[in-house]
Amino acid sequence: MGRAFVYVILGGGVAAGYAALEFVKKGVSHGELCIISDEPVAPYERPALSKGFLLPEAPARLPSFHTCVGANEERLTPKWYKENGIELVLGTGVKSADVKRKTLLTTTGETISYKILIVATGARALKLEEFGVSGSDAQNVCYLRNIADANRLVNAVQSSPGGNAVVIGGGYIGMECAASLVINKINVTMVFPEAHCMARLFTPKIASYYEEYYKSRGVNFVKGTVLSSFDFDSDGKVTAVNLRDGRKISVDMVVVGIGIRPNTSLFEGQLTLEKGGIKVNGKLQSSNSSVYAIGDVAAFPVKAFGETRRLEHVDSARQSARYVVAAIMEPGKTGEFDYLPFFYSRVFTLSWQFYGDNVGEVVYFGDFSGSTFGAYWVNKGHLVGAFLEGGTKEEYEAVAKATRFRPAIEDLTELERQGLTFAVTV
Ligand code: FDA
Ligand code: NAD
């Protein structure tokens, strides 16, 4: 039993939704495109899960945040896919892939064949068990990657009014969930191994601003240590978190955000992998010319850096999705993917954006005791990265443009003196 399509998108997340819209804009015919997803719902804006979805008042719920509302584009409901002749196969995993035969075998036993496959399988949350700690299945231990996780987190919050939570991990999930828990009047302790939060991106000075802000909202920080075990009650609920430094913290709930692994397993031994993802060229084409990869799972050449990177951010998923459809449908008109990395976050009333790369010397600007400040990264005599908290729309656009332009920087002191004005006038 099986069906055949010209184009198949494997995975039904952010990248799949944006690719679907682009296929329709480029005039895909009815019946040509199929999307297979193990999630039970049509593609949605995953970033909502750690923000609007967790609000105590008027929380965001589907269908309000289906793609592509995050980029102010059309909201693609299941009806939209139907009207546009796109086969949306939901709640169905792909359990094996054969890139030589160009077939996928689903968990329902169906073989789906393609002429062109776009892999958009994203990533999965790393589990505590992978770090030697058991207890991930306890009902009050929460991860956050999909709608099911988000519902479980909301249930845990609602079962712990005024209670205590430990958030394990000081990255994106840790920071955004800690803020959402505080807004839900839960007392939060954040535990992470590094000396400061957001260690992959923030400098100690930038991190200190956010940590002080979080402390002013009641968050405790336990840094430089990791979880060693949980205590459980007779129902299997976690009652305390034991840390490697000997501390014990009583809890009503735990949130874990300790990083992700790209979902590549279907293609191991079939496609070339790099940086934990599927290696693709400047056309986002893998080592098999009929297979493309986009979003979190793709390791692609970032032209501005002259090296292959895998990015785990929504803008990269959206842009790579739009690009790949153009590269497939209009190959003659489409050059190579030229992407400037862009990350952002919003917590409490704070909001920051980052463009480019955080390598080289750091030049700070603005008022770190106020609400607008930032930093430039200068590497080998050029501006390569910029961070801005509390900017206006125009200021964010200016730092993005300046970073894309990579201007030569001769005098760091002068750059510091000019601060944000430098980006606005470059
Ligand atoms: P994504 O994970 O969205 O989709 C992958 C899809 O493939 C899923 O539906 C999955 O179930 C499916 N799948 C995987 N294997 C399969 C199989 N074998 N068979 C069938 N289906 C399969 N970024 C940012 O820049 N700003 C932000 O504020 C946030 N906020 C944020 C919050 C939370 C809670 C998370 C988890 C993530 C973010 N992100 C973010 C990151 C951003 O959401 C992420 O980069 C994109 O979702 C990546 O899009 P993809 O389509 O690549 O993967
Ligand atoms: P992350 O990579 O941002 O952070 C992982 C954190 O895990 C590290 O900062 C570290 O503190 C911690 N850690 C590592 N090993 C540990 C250990 N043994 N014990 C305890 N802590 C440990 O990953 P994440 O926060 O889990 O986020 C998951 C994914 O979701 C990422 O791809 C991220 O980009 C994405 N996301 C992005 C945003 C955003 O861009 N605004 C928001 C939410 C999620």
Report ipTM (2 d.p.): 0.99
Which percentage of the chain shows pLDDT scores above 90?
Answer: 99
| 405 backbone dihedrals φ, ψ, rounded to 5° | -75, -25
User: Does residue 172 line the site of ligand 2, with CB under 6 A?
Assistant: yes
Report how far apart the first and last C-alpha atoms of the chain are (Å, whole number).
60
Task: List helix spans (H) across 217-368.
Answer: 314-329
Nearest-Å Rg of the Cα atoms of the chain is 22
pTM, 2 dp: 0.98
Position 1 pLDDT exceeds 80: no
Ligand 2 mean position, distance from CA 7 (Å): 33
Q: Is the Cβ–Cβ distance between 85 and 30 less than 8 Å?
A: yes
Measured from the CB, is residue 194 less than 6 Å from ligand 2?
A: yes
- Indicate if the pLDDT at residue 85 is higher than 90: yes
312 within ligand 2 shell (Cβ under 6 A): yes
**pLDDT for the residue numbered 249:** 98
CB 184 within 8 A of CB 207: no
CA of 37 to the centre of ligand 1 (A): 12
Tell me, in angstroms, the distance from the centre of ligand 1 to residue 120's CA. 9
Query: What would the pLDDT profile of 399-414 be if each residue is shown by its tens digit?
Result: 999 999 999 999 999 9
Residue 199 CB contacts under 8 Å (≥ 6 apart), including other chains: 170, 171, 207
Local structure of residue 1 (DSSP, 8 states): -
How high is the mean pLDDT of the chain?
97
Kindly report, residue by residue over 88-124, the tens digit of the pLDDT.
999 999 999 999 999 999 999 999 999 999 999 999 9
- Which atom belonging to ligand 2 lies closest to the Cα atom of 200? 9
| Confidence at 17, pLDDT banded by 50, 70, 90 | very high
pLDDT per position as a tens digit, 167-196: 999 999 999 999 999 999 999 999 999 999
Query: How many CA atoms are closer than 13 Å to the CA of 221, on its beta-carbon side?
Result: 23
Q: What is the DSSP letter of 26?
A: T
pLDDT tens for each residue of 269-321: 999 999 999 999 999 999 999 999 999 999 999 998 899 999 999 999 999 99
Structure-token match 């934990």, residue found: 276
pLDDT at position 426 is 86
How confident is the model over 10-23, as a mean pLDDT? 98
Q: Cβ(277) to ligand 2 under 6 A? A: no
Q: Is 192 in the pocket of ligand 2 (CB under 6 A)?
A: yes
Q: Which residues contact 261 (CB under 8 A, 6 or more apart)?
A: 123, 124, 126, 276
Q: How far apart are CA 59 and CA 69, in angstroms?
A: 16
Helix (H) or strand (E) holding 222: strand 220-223
- Has residue 327 got a pLDDT over 80? yes
Q: Could you give the strand order of the β-sheet that contains 373-379, starting from the edge strand earlier in sequence? A: 342-347, 350-356, 382-389, 373-379, 361-366
